[in-house]
Amino acid sequence: MPKKDLQQMIDAISNFNITGVLNGCIAYGNGHINDTFLVICYDEAGKEHKYILQAMNQYVFKEPEKVMANIERVTAFLRTQTDNPREVMSLIRTKDNQAFFKDQFGSYWRMYDFITDAICLERPDCTEDFYQCAVAFGKFQRYLNDFPAESLYEIIPDFHNTPKRFEHFSQAVKQDAFERAKDVQEEIAFLTARQNFYPILTDSFKRGVLPLRVSHNDTKSNNVMLDASTRKALCVIDLDTIMPGFSVTDFGDAIRFGASTADEDEQDLSKVRLNLDMFRMYTKGFLDGCSGMLGNDEIMLLPEGAKMMTIECGMRFLTDYLEGDIYFKTAYATHNLVRCRTQLKLVQEMEEHWDEMKSIVKQYCR
Ligand code: ADP
Ligand code: GN1
Ligand code: MG
């Protein structure tokens, strides 16, 4: 994605209905996808007003209008489910009342109110914080229980369709456009050996065991805000990938990221372990947030959701490595490979602790 220059940013900001005069705009956060900026303005009384400005990633989001249409509908619905405005992301509309601004270069911009007095955790380091992230994502499922999931646009087709992801991965191995496959034979063998696992969730859906729900699809802990003073669950953010999907993949993606003892790009694999206490607390928090909404079949598939999201993410990182790092932002040449390896190590850990994971979730069946 081409870098945005300052003037382009200032022009974009001037199209939104913000309060005050622009004082500063700085790169913000650690997302892998969009270009995110913190915008600071001051009004005549000297009061500060903060906003989040994002240039949408148009390689990832081919139809930004559809992304914004989903976000508008879902945030409006969420607002009917809670009295606390701080629980829902607030889009700032443009001066001509649109949810986004398309500039003369074809870039799409959008703005949100900055959520003040809140924190978001790159990686939760205690079970209580992780519990709160789980409550936020569980509540998100509950609030959207009556929203017609199938009426949402499928923003990235087959986003968590792991068999399709494996097909794409196999093509990337075959094409080997950057002659990198020779260096990753072990990882290719690992992913190939687990082929029978990949259709488990899509088959459960086809058999009617797994219901279609509104899912967030990117439930990392840095996509949820906690209240800075109480550290209680506040607001789910990063709404780009809201689509029809499964509750168990929302659960799983959070486990993949937050129940690991190391960062997603840790180079020392001996540090990458599955923290079962974190798994236990996230399970409790997610089901507390869902408040009885999930059926026993769904609950029993939560461990599969965790393993599926982890192996799928490893596969996606390796696919991107083989294709020349075109999807995820990277900071160095082997960044995607390093990320892939942490995910595969975590899959191994889950396989070793499979019976414990299953028995933890079983306690919540009715
Ligand atoms: P990406 O899709 O690239 O991950 P996000 O929408 O998650 O982008 O934004 C990146 C980071 O910016 C988040 O992890 C969070 O730290 C911060 N952020 C995003 N929206 C807000 C907001 N409304 N208020 C405060 N911080 C925000
Ligand atoms: C991306 O946008 P961000 O950084 O929250 C990706 C997720 C991956 C994640 C891996 C739209 O999430 O699917 O799981 O990186 N988002 C998209 O860290 O592909
Ligand atoms: Mg994010």
**What global pTM score does this model have?**
0.93
The closest-lying atom of ligand 2 relative to the alpha carbon of residue 60 is 11
Q: Please give the pLDDT value at position 3.
A: 64
- Residues with Cβ within 8 Å of 235's Cβ and at least 6 positions away in sequence, in order, are 86, 87, 88, 89, 115, 118, 136, 224, 225
Cα(102)–Cα(100) distance, integer angstroms: 7
What's the gap in Å between 320 CA and the centre of ligand 1?
Answer: 23
Cα(112)–Cα(106) distance, integer angstroms: 20
What's the gap in Å between 32 CA and the centre of ligand 3?
Answer: 7
Q: Please give the pLDDT value at position 5.
A: 82
Ligand 1 neighbourhood includes 57 CB (under 6 angstroms): no
> Which strand (E) or helix (H) includes residue 112?
strand 108-113
Ligand 1 neighbourhood includes 37 CB (under 6 angstroms): no
Ligand 1 neighbourhood includes 92 CB (under 6 angstroms): no
Q: Is the torsion defined by CA of 161, 273, 258, 318 positive or negative?
A: negative
Q: Please give the pLDDT value at position 31.
A: 79
Cα(146)–Cα(80) distance, integer angstroms: 11
Q: Please give the pLDDT value at position 1.
A: 43
Q: Which residue among 1, 28, 30, 33 is best mutated to probe the pocket of ligand 2, counting the most ligand atoms within 8 A of its Cβ?
A: 33
What's the gap in Å between 297 CA and the centre of ligand 3?
Answer: 29
Q: Please give the pLDDT value at position 32.
A: 82
Q: Please give the pLDDT value at position 285.
A: 98
Helix (H, G, I), strand (E, B) or coil at 110: strand
**Bridge partners of residue 227, in order along the sequence:** 118
User: Which position has the token pair 């990320």?
Assistant: 339
Query: Is 3 exposed, middle or buried (CB count within 10 Å of its CB: 0-12, 13-18, 19+)?
Result: exposed
Q: Please give the pLDDT value at position 291.
A: 94
Q: What is the number of the ligand closest to the CA of 112?
A: 1
Residues of the chain below pLDDT 50 = 1
